[in-house]
Copies of this chain bind each other. A is one copy, B any other.
């Protein structure tokens, strides 16, 4: 069990094989709500959402299941409005709790419903994908996409409990396993070289979703992320290190119109930002050479992934999240360690980023 501190107190992240069966008792230990709303997409609802609802009902919790169409295209203000209205219609009040069961879209969307329902009700996060377990359910970020970009509307709403049961990972399609594990490698790259090396050695078992291997890996990533988030809940400074690979990764992902997987885009972003760091003399020479083969075992040859460098540059120019109009990147000092820079990131010029993207393996498409 990992404990995460927030300004509202602390919450537990339980990572344990078979823990899903304990969910009702873990909830009862922490919350005394009148009604519980399980929110799942229509893929996960039949597999896990209904089971969670039934287990909660058996434990005497007044629990209903609410579903929405699976996919990133559901992560919208519209889905959020519909779910909110359905909860109101079903008589949910202040003494309600949302239980999000699913991948990152679900944890973000259901989390935002909880964050804004009657100005906020508790949320329990039950991530069912590697990405959601490792990344989306820790840190309290919730939100939806809008036309101008992804995750531009949302709230920080720390969960009251996160339950990650690695046994459910066997229901996850293989490409999603690989895409999600990229974030684990990122955690190793920025904070723990030994963890990075272990992930690389265990990559076969991780892809097979062997709970005995996946459990400790998820727990280590959660521990690392929780430590960062506890030190900087609202993303003022240190938390930025989690953005390693994401400045260029997001640009590449957006340039592909989100056809390239998030994990693949972040993997490319990590390699390119490491190129830049090495060129600037910030990152130890040879770091990219250590990163690349590990990521390629997961994703296949990354040199063959083409992206539209011009479109990525265009995205960076208009990125709504860019601080003070100037791009910043997180750079490694070496594998397993971030360079502190100024406020844990480095200001770089648009042209340096453009050169880095052009010098990468990108082929203008």
Known: A8-B7, A320-B91. A117 touches B153 (CB 8 A): yes
Q: Is A77 an interface residue (CB 8 A)?
A: yes
A321 to B116: give the CA distance in the assembly, Å. Answer: 14
Contact B116 A153, beta carbon cutoff 8 Å: yes
Contact B119 A143, beta carbon cutoff 8 Å: yes
Q: Which residues of B contact A77 (CB under 8 A)?
A: 77, 81
Within 8 A of B (CB), among A75-122: 77, 81, 84-85, 88-89, 91-95, 115-120
Q: Is A51 an interface residue (CB 8 A)?
A: no
Q: Is A225 an interface residue (CB 8 A)?
A: no
A116 to B116: give the CA distance in the assembly, Å. Answer: 9
Chain A contacts to B: CB under 8 angstroms: 7-8, 34, 77, 81, 84-85, 88-89, 91-95, 115-120, 141-143, 146-149, 151-156, 234-235, 318-325
Looking at the assembled complex, report how far the CB atom of A319 sits from the nearest CB atom of chain B, in whole angstroms: 8
A321 to B119: give the CA distance in the assembly, Å. Answer: 11
Contact B148 A119, beta carbon cutoff 8 Å: no
Q: Which residues of B contact A34 (CB under 8 A)?
A: 324-325
User: Closest chain B residue to A96 by CB distance?
Assistant: B320
Q: Which residues of B contact A149 (CB under 8 A)?
A: 88
User: Closest chain B residue to A32 by CB distance?
Assistant: B324
Excluding A7-B8, A85-B147, 17 further A-B contacts by CB distance (< 8 Å) are A77-B81, A84-B152, A88-B146, A88-B148, A88-B320, A89-B148, A93-B319, A94-B323, A95-B324, A117-B152, A118-B154, A118-B320, A119-B141, A119-B143, A119-B154, A119-B155, A120-B234
Contact A93 B323, beta carbon cutoff 8 Å: yes
Contact A84 B153, beta carbon cutoff 8 Å: yes
A234 to B119: give the CA distance in the assembly, Å. Answer: 9
Known: A84-B146, A156-B119. A93 touches B320 (CB 8 A): yes
Contact A321 B93, beta carbon cutoff 8 Å: yes
